[in-house]
Amino acid sequence: MSDSDISSILTAPDPYGQSTEFAYPDYPDMRADFTIDQGYAHYTDEDHAVWRDLMQRQLAILPGRACDEYFDAYASMDLSQSHIPHFDDYSDRLMRATGWQIVAVPGLIPNTHFFTHLANKRFPVTHWIRPRATLDYIQEPDLFHDFQGHVPLLLNPVFAGYMEAYGKGGLKALKAGTLSEISRLYWYTVEFGLIRNKEGLRIYGAGIVSSKTESVFALESQSPNRIGFDLRRIMKTDYRIDDFQESYFVIDSFEDLFAQTAEQDFLPIYDEIKNSPLLKPWDIAPGDAMLHRGTRDYVLKR
Ligand SMILES: [Fe+2]
């Protein structure tokens, strides 16, 4: 495990399905849908200082790297750099813009509840922030990753529509037994997606946007592959949860992502790809639209 700021801090569907690991005995007031009150009064001065320091260092890195849509949304949020945000305040702003809300959760939640929240335009945000001792790396999603990484793009109507459709698709995938396939789509878009714009590639995935080092690695390292978005290919591509990605997939626009996913019926696609081999994270497949063929030097040097 690297000591760098590796983005396995993700609010992603649990690929292992409905687990018994979601018991939260320390949250007696947790509701049946796994939501809780944010408990704002419990944040310490140190919690706010951690938020401030994480925000400041990401804002120093993201210009020229994060996509315009992220910055447009970020600017309209007027997100506090000095204090942890009140979820209710930003829920009101989101509701007015795209109809979304933020709900506080204790951490990862079962897939059924995660997908149901998204399908109903509720984004679950972990209520606690990482301690300073683990500023650069935590295994679970925390408030900073969930809020700074995910929430701004919920102000973008097209991306917000994709997230809602993803939740509905996730519920269908649970019934179809294709959780792994749809989880890979989330991973390679919502968490680790790249987008092309006039000036070149930019990042939009929350796992990258909230990571000091992957924000640079994803765009500037020669090591990983950068491949044009391909829904079927992504659904059959394994991913790394404990280190930088070995392949990033690049969309042309959020409109194009929406058209290729939210407007498609996945059931025949699942049937079409069910016998396709599962690709390793570093594999190149026939038909890949290669923007950059990775050297894997980061991996090989480790
Ligand atoms: Fe996430």
Cα(186) to centroid(ligand 1), Å: 9
Cα(141) to centroid(ligand 1), Å: 6
Sign for the pseudo-dihedral over CA of 74, 42, 40, 111: positive
Cα(191) to centroid(ligand 1), Å: 6
* Residue 228 reports pLDDT greater than 70: yes
**Furthest CA-CA distance within the chain:** 54
Mention the CATH class of domain 40-300: mainly alpha
Cα(44) to centroid(ligand 1), Å: 24
Q: How far apart are the first and last CA of the chain?
A: 10
Residue 133, sorted as left (phi over 0), alpha (psi -120 to 50) or beta, turns out to be alpha
**Poorest-pLDDT segment among 5-19, 23-37, 232-246, 249-263:** 5-19
On the 0-12 / 13-18 / 19+ scale of CB atoms within 10 A, 20 is exposed
**Poorest-pLDDT segment among 13-22, 46-55, 75-84, 230-239:** 13-22
Cα(287) to centroid(ligand 1), Å: 29
Cα(243) to centroid(ligand 1), Å: 15
Helix 68-77 and helix 87-98: axis angle, to 10°? 120
Question: Residue 19: phi, psi to the nearest 5?
Answer: -110, 160
Contact call for residues 20 and 87 (beta carbons, < 8 A): no
Between the alpha carbon of residue 244 and those of residues 1, 108, 285, the distances in Å are 11, 21, 20
Q: How confident is the model at residue 14 (pLDDT cuts 50, 70, 90)?
A: low
Please state, for a pLDDT cut of 70, what percent of the chain lies above it: 93
Whole-model pTM? Answer: 0.93
Cα(206) to centroid(ligand 1), Å: 6
Nearest-angstrom CA–CA distance, 48 and 54? 10
Contact call for residues 166 and 116 (beta carbons, < 8 A): no
Per-residue pLDDT reduced to its tens digit, 26-81: 999 999 999 999 999 999 999 999 999 999 999 999 999 999 999 999 999 988 99
**pLDDT value at position 244?**
94
Cα(140) to centroid(ligand 1), Å: 9
Domain coordinates of the chain in residue numbers? 40-300
Task: Look at residue 105 and give its three-state secondary structure.
Answer: strand
Q: What pairing do the DSSP bridges indicate for beta strands 290-292 and 225-228?
A: antiparallel
Mean pLDDT value across the chain = 92
Cα(237) to centroid(ligand 1), Å: 19
Cα(99) to centroid(ligand 1), Å: 20
* Residue 15 reports pLDDT greater than 60: no
pLDDT (mean) for 149-177: 97
Cα(139) to centroid(ligand 1), Å: 11
**pLDDT value at position 137?**
79
**pLDDT value at position 16?**
40
Contact call for residues 52 and 82 (beta carbons, < 8 A): yes
Give buried/exposed letters for 25-62 (b at 16+ CB in 10 A, else e).
eebeebeebbbbbbeeeebeeebeebbeebbeebeeeb
